[in-house]
Chain A
Amino acid sequence: NAGVTQTPKFQVLKTGQSMTLQCAQDMNHNSMYWYRQDPGMGLRLIYYSASEGTTDKGEVPNGYNVSRLNKREFSLRLESAAPSQTSVYFCASKGGGTGGYTFGSGTRLTVV
C-alpha cells in the first residue's frame, strides 16, 4: 500500500501565484487533513474533511481553500501565495475510532 501520497514534493512560487497541492490515500479512510509545519512550532491544522463531501476550517485556514474530490483525494489550494505561506505542508488521513493518523511525506513550499 502506498498510504498517503502528496504531490509535488517541492515547489517555489512567486508572491501572488496560485497552486494546488494534491493528496491521495488508498486506505479507504473517511477523514483527511491538511497541516502546515513551521520551524519551532508544532503542526497546525489548516482544513480537514471528516467525510466525503464535507470540509471544515482548522486553526489556520486563511489564504487556503480545499476540495474533497472523492473519498481518496483531498486537495489544498493557495489562490494568491504570500511569503508567510512558506512552509512544509502535510496531508494526513485517519480511519475510524482511535485509529492512527497516516501522514504523507510532505510538500516543501517556498514563496518568494
Chain B
Amino acid sequence: KNQVEQSPQSLIILEGKNCTLQCNYTVSPFSNLRWYKQDTGRGPVSLTIMTFSENTKSNGRYTATLDADTKQSSLHITASQLSDSASYICVVSRGGSQGNLIFGKGTKLSVKP
C-alpha cells in the first residue's frame, strides 16, 4: 500500500533551536519527494522537491535529505523562528499518471519565544 508516514505528529521547540522532522514512505514507483509548509488557515507552500538521485536540498534555513534506499526523508530547520510555526507535510509523487501524490498527515511544529 502506498503510504507516507511522518513523525513526530507534533513538536514544540524554543525559538532559535534546531529541529528535524522525519518522513518514511512506501510509494512505488517513486518519482519525487516534496516538503510543504502549511500555515494555519492557508494552503500548503512548497519548500523543496527532490528526485531519486538527489540526497540533499536546501532552501534558506530548511534542509531536506533523501535516502532512496531506506525510503526516508528528513527536513531540518536551523535557528527556528516564530514564523516557522506551521504544519510540515511530506508528499511523495508516484511515477506514471497524473494526480498521483501521496500526502503525509503532517508534523505540527510550534516555536515558542
Taking Cβ atoms with an 8 Å cutoff, the residues of A that contact B are 4, 31, 33, 40-45, 48, 50, 56, 58, 90, 92, 98, 100-106
- With a cutoff of 8 Å between Cβ atoms, the chain B residues found around residue A40 in the complex are 105
Complex CA gap A43/B104 in Å reads 8
Bound form: Cα–Cα A65–B104 in Å: 25
Cα separation A46 to B9 with both chains bound (whole Å): 25
Flag if B105 contacts A41 (CB, 8 Å).
yes
Select one of B41, B45, B89 contacting A42, CB under 8 A: B89
B103: which of A4, A31, A43, A100 is its contact (CB, 8 Å)? A43
Q: What's the minimum C-beta distance from A74 to chain B, rounded to whole angstroms?
A: 13
What interface size band does chain B fall in?
20 to 34
Q: Is the CB of A100 within 8 A of B46?
A: yes
Asked if residues A4 and B49 are in contact (CB atoms below 8 Å), the reply is no
Pick the contact of A58 from B44, B49, B89, B99 — CB < 8 Å? Answer: B99
> Closest A-chain residue to B32, C-beta based?
A98
**Interface residue? B34 (CB, 8 A):** yes
Q: Is B1 an interface residue (CB 8 A)?
A: no
Given A33-B99, A48-B98, A98-B49, the answer on whether A42 and B42 have CB atoms closer than 8 Å is no
27 A–B contact pairs at CB < 8 A?
A33-B99, A40-B105, A41-B105, A42-B4, A42-B102, A42-B103, A42-B105, A43-B44, A43-B89, A48-B98, A50-B98, A50-B99, A56-B99, A58-B99, A90-B43, A90-B44, A92-B43, A98-B51, A100-B49, A101-B44, A101-B46, A101-B101, A103-B43, A105-B41, A105-B42, A105-B43, A106-B41
Docked complex: B71-93 residues within 8 A CB-CB of A: 89
Q: Which residue of B lies closest to A51 (CB)?
A: B98
**Lowest 9 A-B CB distances belong to which pairs?**
A42-B103, A103-B43, A100-B46, A48-B99, A43-B103, A50-B98, A103-B44, A105-B43, A42-B105
